[in-house]
């Protein structure tokens, strides 16, 4: 049976380990949690020390004094633990002096009650005397004793909650840390419960600080093995909050009953409200047309927020949040300002109209007037140039159509029929050109916008070929879910500077290509999620390889798209 | 550039070949290289470890405590172990903390500390933790004395309590105050720890020993500052060599050692110190005066520092010799 005296060596060990761990934690500053951990380990070592001094004190008064001073360590531990858990898991906003002060009220009162014990029975009744082995025995604790005990356990449990959260962390190091911290906490807590229940034969000596030496070993191991304070999860929570707060779009979190539970800075700005006024209030009071929002998904059309003078259109999306069992527990409603996008779209529409209508009309007029002149070489040149201007206008319009968001750009279309149309239209425009085609029997569906890409690639191959009988080879190959359309010609090849401009992705007044055709090939392929490569043909000419994903191989889908 | 150097390297390797052959042709040399060289390397490495880890200081500190115990007729007690452990923790801890600044002044030590930093860090923490646990055996006074270095660590840390931290950090920069703090902490530890464990009172004899160690440590703290004049000046730390120059510092060291000689003789005449102890301390002070003459006049300043610390071994050796000789 363990006696009080036989605990002494264990108390010494707990002091040695506690002090060593204190120094290591001290050196880990300013890592999150290091200061509260220092306080916890000092408190534990102090508690053990006071027990030893109490046991070795010759007189009853001295024993009483050390027993009372031990309370400093006893009550500091739960506060330090709680603060450690908060800071370590990134909740350092609670480590302000006023919160620490509030948490310390019960511990400070406890120490005061302990040191003034001769005047009242709040903490415990009077000592009954000393036993032969030097252990002071007290009667049952007074009312404040149970308040302190309850407070200690509450802080212990509250501190464990965020730490346990680390157990579910994806990072192995954090899981190791969390497990170490929980074991380090449970050892003394379980010991204390057993001691208070009278289940430990320690002759009235509280062995809890000895159990804290187990915590010390665990913390030390965690410091060295799991890099307890070197690898800290503290920034995680802050980073998520930071992203939520600073994201450009507005975000409002509502619970299952449509009450606002959180909102970011942008949503406060967008809605022109004060977060403190609306948090906890009904969402339909702050979000216009709230009832029109879908449970999950995007709101059709736009939502205009603001007064008539300064209204802004927003794309609003509702995303359902579910718990681990898949039950909906709320939604995140996000607001994306589409004002600029809509304005840009309007500009494109105007440009489109200008390119489609005005340029064509003007060039037709020029063409008509020139036809009245004598049919000499000059008039022929002017006519050709007028036709080219119209062609540029047409291509510009096609390019704008590529970016027009209102159309579904990735609508699947049959590859065979797309190529059929492109080749057919090129043959109509250039009857002397020979266009050969080789493709597998299997047809697939690709993005519909590729029609512009193929047609430009094929037309370019013919158009820029000075030969009287230009030759173009269109080859289709398939590899898994990727289709390669190669357009090869026997022309002079694409000039280096044209390719360099495409590679840069932008043009300048000094460095630019000769037209829009290659740009349409590049932009269209990019939008379809593919890539385009330009190589030289053997013995002459160029090869444009358009690599795009297959959207469907389903024969029925492809057939239906073909019939469009 | 690299290729230009190549023929030279090849030439060096080739020229070394005949020399290596001649070693193998001589059996004695071979044996020498097989046994003596590794032994010398091993000894050299052990010496480096002892110096880099301050282990020699641990031994010297324990000899100082033993001297106190002999002077005060106290039986050997755990104070010996505590002083050893604390010395290791404090000096090694300092070397870990100063590993960056030592890189220029003491590259060998700096690279040793950097290589073994994690092990040394745990060892110093464990040493101090063990010292604290043992000190609890000696009661509250022993615990308090053992906690003094820890208290200074806390006070110097300006991030702990910013106002107090920076105030104490400034104390480090003030002339004389910095060395007085070190000397006081050291003298308190050396004298009060053995007393606390023996449950003995602070007698006039103890006061004499206390003053002796206080002044002696003060001198031994200022002398190594001769090496660091430029560095101390750069960081704004006032030491005797920074303020008064090296020559005047040497004279101050002479003066203080002579004051100690007078003080020890006075204590002997008043019957506070025994003849063996008095003689031993005087021999030690004589040794210190000789060393003081080298201050600022030798190129081996770090060896001078170690030699200064070894004075306590001289004192103990004289005590043992005289006691064994039946004086």
| Nearest partner of B189 among B62, B76, B32, B278, judged by Cα | B62
Which residue on chain A is closest to B136 by alpha carbon? Answer: A49
Q: Give pLDDT tens digits for B51-106.
A: 776 788 888 889 999 999 988 888 889 999 999 999 888 888 878 877 776 666 67
pTM for the predicted model, two decimal places:
0.61
Does the distance separating the beta carbons of B143 and A30 come in below 8 Å? no
The tokens for A545 are 């390889």
Picking from A96-110, A186-200, A425-439, B131-145, which range would have the lowest pLDDT averaged per residue?
Answer: A186-200
Q: Out of B129, B137, B139, name the one closest to residue A20 (CB).
A: B129
Compute the distance between CA of residue A439 and CA of residue B220 in angstroms, rounded to an integer: 94
Average pLDDT of the residues in B267-291:
89
| Peptide bond just before A30 cis, omega within 30 deg | yes
- What confidence category does residue A477 fall into, taking pLDDT thresholds of 50, 70 and 90? very high
**What average pLDDT score do residues B8-16 get?**
30
Buried b (16+ CB within 10 A) or exposed e, A279-288: eeeebeebbe
Which residues of chain B lie closer than 8 angstroms to A53, CB-CB?
136, 139-140
For A502-528, the pLDDT digits (tens) are: 777 666 555 555 667 888 888 888 888
* Residues of chain A contacting B99 with CB distance shorter than 8 Å: none
Give the per-residue pLDDT at B263. 92
More confident residue, A433 or B301: A433
CATH assignment, A408-562: 3.30.565.10
Chain segment B183-194, per-residue pLDDT in tens: 888 899 999 999
More confident residue, B11 or A353: A353
Residues 6+ apart with CB under 8 A from A562: A414, A416, A417, A443
Domains in chain B, ordered, with CATH?
39-151+183-200 (no CATH), 203-327 (1.20.120)
Domain boundaries defined on chain A:
5-236, 247-337, 340-407, 408-562
Q: Is A130 helix (H, G, I), strand (E, B) or coil?
A: strand
Q: Do B133 and A27 touch (CB under 8 A)?
A: no
Question: The CATH number of A247-337 is which of 3.30.200.20, 3.40.228.10, 3.30.450.20, 3.10.105.10?
Answer: 3.30.450.20
pLDDT category at A1 given cuts 50, 70, 90 is: very low
Structure tokens at A303: 């939502």
Nearest CA in chain A to B141: A53
In the beta sheet, which residues pair with residue A332? Answer: A253, A319
pLDDT of B5 above 50: no
Q: Of B120 and A31, which is predicted with more confidence?
A: B120
- List the alpha helices (DSSP H) in A293-448: 339-353, 359-372, 377-403, 415-429
pLDDT band (50, 70, 90) for residue A548: very high
Q: Between B21 and A267, name the one with better pLDDT.
A: A267
Contacts of A95 (CB under 8 A, 6+ apart): A36, A83, A86, A87
pLDDT at B161: 60
Checking if the pLDDT of B12 tops 60, the result is no
Check whether B156 has a pLDDT greater than 70. no
At B133, is the pLDDT very low, low, confident or very high (cuts 50, 70, 90)? very high
pLDDT at B8: 29
Answer whether B159 sits within 8 Å of A22, measured CB to CB: no
For the segment(s) A5-236, the CATH number from 1.10.760.10, 1.10.579.10, 1.10.645.10, 1.20.1070.10 is 1.20.1070.10
**Could you tell me if B197 and B140 are in contact, meaning their C-beta atoms sit under 8 angstroms apart?**
no
Q: Cβ A56–B139 below 8 Å, yes or no?
A: yes
- More confident call, B41 vs A110: A110
DSSP label of A272? T
What residues contact A135, with CB distance under 8 A and at least 6 apart? A4, A55, A203, A204, A205
Report the DSSP pairing between strands A434-438 and A471-479: parallel
The residue count for chain B? 327
Question: Which of B129, B143, B197 would you mutate first to test chain A, the one with the most A CBs within 10 A?
Answer: B129
Q: How far is A98 from chain B (nearest CA, A)?
A: 16
Instruction: Identify the residue with better confidence: A163 or B126.
Output: B126
In order of A49, A51, A64, A73, the CA distances from A55 in angstroms are 10, 6, 10, 17
Q: Is ipTM > 0.85 here?
A: no
Q: pLDDT per residue over A104-150, tens digit each? A: 999 999 999 888 877 877 877 655 555 545 555 555 678 888 898 88
pLDDT at residue A227 greater than cutoff 90: no
The pLDDT of residue A277 is 81
Q: How far is A109 from chain B (nearest CA, A)?
A: 24
Residue B63: burial class (beta carbons within 10 Å; 0-12, 13-18, 19+): buried
Measure the CA–CA gap between A375 and A361, rounded to whole angstroms: 22
pLDDT at A406: 46
């Amino acid at each position: 049976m363990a006696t009080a005296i036989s605990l002494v060596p264990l108390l010494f060990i707990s002091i040695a380990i506690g002090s060593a761990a204190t120094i290591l934690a001290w050196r880990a500053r300013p890592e999150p949690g290091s200061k509260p951990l220092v306080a916890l380990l000092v408190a534990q070592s102090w508690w053990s020390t006071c027990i030893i001094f109490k046991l070795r004190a010759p007189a009853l008064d001295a024993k009483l004094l050390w027993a009372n001073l031990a309370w400093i360590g006893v009550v500091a531990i739960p506060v330090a633990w709680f603060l450690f858990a908060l800071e370590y898991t990134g909740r350092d906003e609670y480590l302000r002096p006023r919160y620490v002060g509030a948490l310390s009220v019960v511990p400070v009162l406890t120490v005061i009650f302990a040191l003034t014990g001769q005047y009242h029975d709040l903490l415990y009744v009077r000592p009954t005397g000393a036993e032969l082995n030097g252990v002071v025995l007290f009667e049952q604790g007074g009312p404040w004793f149970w308040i302190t005990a309850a407070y200690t356990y509450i802080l212990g449990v509250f501190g464990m909650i965020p730490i346990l959260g680390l157990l579910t962390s994806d990072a192995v190091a954090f899981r190791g840390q969390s497990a170490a911290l929980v074991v380090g906490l449970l050892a003394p807590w379980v010991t204390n419960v057993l001691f208070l229940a009278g289940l430990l034969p320690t002759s009235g000596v509280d062995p809890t600080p000895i159990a804290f030496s187990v915590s010390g070993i665990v913390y030390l191991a965690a410091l060295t093995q799991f890099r307890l304070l070197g690898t800290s999860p503290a920034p995680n929570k802050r980073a998520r909050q930071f992203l939520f707060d600073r994201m450009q779009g507005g975000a409002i979190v509502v619970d299952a009953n449509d009450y606002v539970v959180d909102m970011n800075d942008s949503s406060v700005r967008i809605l022109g409200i004060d977060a403190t006024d609306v948090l906890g209030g009904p969402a339909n009071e702050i979000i216009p047309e709230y009832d029109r929002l879908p449970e999950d998904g995007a709101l059709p059309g736009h939502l205009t927020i603001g007064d008539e003078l300064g209204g802004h259109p927003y794309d609003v999306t509702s995303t359902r949040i579910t718990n681990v069992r898949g039950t909906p527990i709320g939604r995140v409603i996000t607001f994306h300002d589409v004002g600029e996008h809509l304005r840009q779209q309007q500009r494109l529409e105007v440009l489109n109209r200008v390119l489609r209508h005005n340029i064509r009309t003007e060039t037709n007029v020029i063409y008509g007037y020139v036809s009245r002149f004598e049919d000499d070489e000059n008039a022929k040149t002017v006519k050709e140039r007028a036709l080219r201007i119209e062609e540029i206008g047409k291509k510009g319009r096609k390019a704008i159509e590529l970016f027009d968001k209102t159309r579904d750009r990735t609508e699947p279309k049959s590859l065979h029929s797309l190529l059929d149309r492109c080749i057919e239209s090129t043959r109509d425009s250039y009857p002397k050109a020979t266009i050969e085609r080789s493709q597998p029997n299997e047809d697939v569906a690709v993005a519909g916008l590729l029609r512009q890409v193929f047609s430009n690639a094929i037309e370019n191959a013919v158009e820029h070929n000075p030969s009287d009988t230009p030759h173009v080879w269109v080859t289709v190959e398939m590899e898994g879910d990727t289709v390669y359309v190669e357009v090869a010609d026997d022309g002079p090849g694409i000039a280096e500077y044209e390719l360099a401009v495409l590679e840069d992705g932008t043009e300048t007044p000094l460095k630019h290509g000769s037209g829009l055709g290659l740009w349409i090939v590049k932009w269209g392929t990019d939008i379809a999620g593919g890539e385009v490569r330009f190589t030289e043909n053997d013995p002459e000419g160029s090869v444009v390889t358009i690599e795009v994903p297959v959207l469907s191989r389903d024969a029925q889908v492809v057939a239906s798209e073909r019939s469009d | 550039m690299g290729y230009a150097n190549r023929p030279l390297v090849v030439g060096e390797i080739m020229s070394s070949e005949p020399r290596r052959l001649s070693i193998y042709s001589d059996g004695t040399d071979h044996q020498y290289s097989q046994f003596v060289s590794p032994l010398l390397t091993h000894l050299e490495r052990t010496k480096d470890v002892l110096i880099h880890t301050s282990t020699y200081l641990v031994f010297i500190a324990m000899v100082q405590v033993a001297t106190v115990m002999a002077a005060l007729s106290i039986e050997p007690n755990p104070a010996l172990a505590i002083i050893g452990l604390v010395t290791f923790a404090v000096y090694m801890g300092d070397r870990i903390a100063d590993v960056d600044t030592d890189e220029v002044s003491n590259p060998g030590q700096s690279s040793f500390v950097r290589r073994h930093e994690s092990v040394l860090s745990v060892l110093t923490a464990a040493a101090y933790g063990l010292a604290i646990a043992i000190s609890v055996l000696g009661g509250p006074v022993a615990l308090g004395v053992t906690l003094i270095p820890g208290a200074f660590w806390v006070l110097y840390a300006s991030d702990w309590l910013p106002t107090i931290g920076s105030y104490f950090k400034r104390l480090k920069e003030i002339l004389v105050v910095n060395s007085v703090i070190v000397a006081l902490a050291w003298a308190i530890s050396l004298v009060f720890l053995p007393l606390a464990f023996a449950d003995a009172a602070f007698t006039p004899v103890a006061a004499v020993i206390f003053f002796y160690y206080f002044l002696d440590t003060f001198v031994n703290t200022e002398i190594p500052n001769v090496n660091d004049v430029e560095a101390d000046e750069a960081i704004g730390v006032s030491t005797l060599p920074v303020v008064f120059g090296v020559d005047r510092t040497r004279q101050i060291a002479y003066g203080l050692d002579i004051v100690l000689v007078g003080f020890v003789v006075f204590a002997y005449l008043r019957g506070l110190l025994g003849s063996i102890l008095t003689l031993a301390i005087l021999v030690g002070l004589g040794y210190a005066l000789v060393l003081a003459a080298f201050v600022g006049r030798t190129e081996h300043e770090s060896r001078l520092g170690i030699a200064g610390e070894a004075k306590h071994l001289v004192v103990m050796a004289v005590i043992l010799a005289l006691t064994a000789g039946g004086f």
